[in-house]
Amino acid sequence: MPTSNVRDGIMTTRTTNILRPATQPGSMDFNGTWKVYSEENLDEFLQEVGAPAMVVKMRKEVKPMFVIEQKGKDFTFTMKTPVFTKVHSFSIGKETEMTTVDGRKIKCKVREENGKLIAENEKFTSVREIQGDEMVETTTAGSVTFISRSKRV
C-alpha cells in the first residue's frame, strides 16, 4: 500500500510489496532435495584432505544428491549416492562430529554469515550458499578449492 510523506517541501512515496515477504539479510532456505550437476577440482580436493585412492576413483564417477532439512538453527544433511548414504546433523554455532566418505571422524563447527553456511575445521573451510536457483558449495583445503553446484529437484 503506497504511503506519502511531505518533508522539507518534497513529497516522497514509499510502496510496500504485499505480494511477497521481504527477505531479511542473513535469511536462508536450504530445505529440499538438491542434485549435484557440476564439480570442479574434486580429485585434487580429495587428495589434499587425504582420501584413499579408491574413494577418489569411486567419488569421481558419482554425482550425489543432498536432502537438506532445516528447522531454525538445526540442520540434517543427507548425502545419497548409489554406493552410500551419509547423514550429518548439526546446529549453527555448535561443534559437531561428522564422518567423511571414507569413514574418518572429523570435528567441525558451522556458522551462519549473511545467509551462507560456513563449516570450518583444521583441514578445510566450506561455504555453502544459495545463488538464484542453485546451491553452491566452495570448499578450500590448503591451496585447493573445490566447487560443487546443485539444483533443487
pLDDT in tens, 74-111: 999 999 988 888 899 999 999 999 887 777 888 999 99
Report pLDDT for 74.
Answer: 95
Average pLDDT over the chain, rounded to whole? 83
Q: Which of 67, 66, 70, 7 is nearest to 39 (CA)?
A: 66
Contact 141, 152 (CB under 8 A): no
The model's pTM: 0.77
- What would the DSSP string read from start to end of 34-89? EEEEEEESHHHHHHHTT--HHHHHHHHT---EEEEEEETTEEEEEEE-SS-EEEEE
Q: What is the pLDDT of residue 55?
A: 84
Domains of the chain: 32-152 (2.40.128.20)
Q: pLDDT category, 147, cuts 50, 70, 90?
A: very high
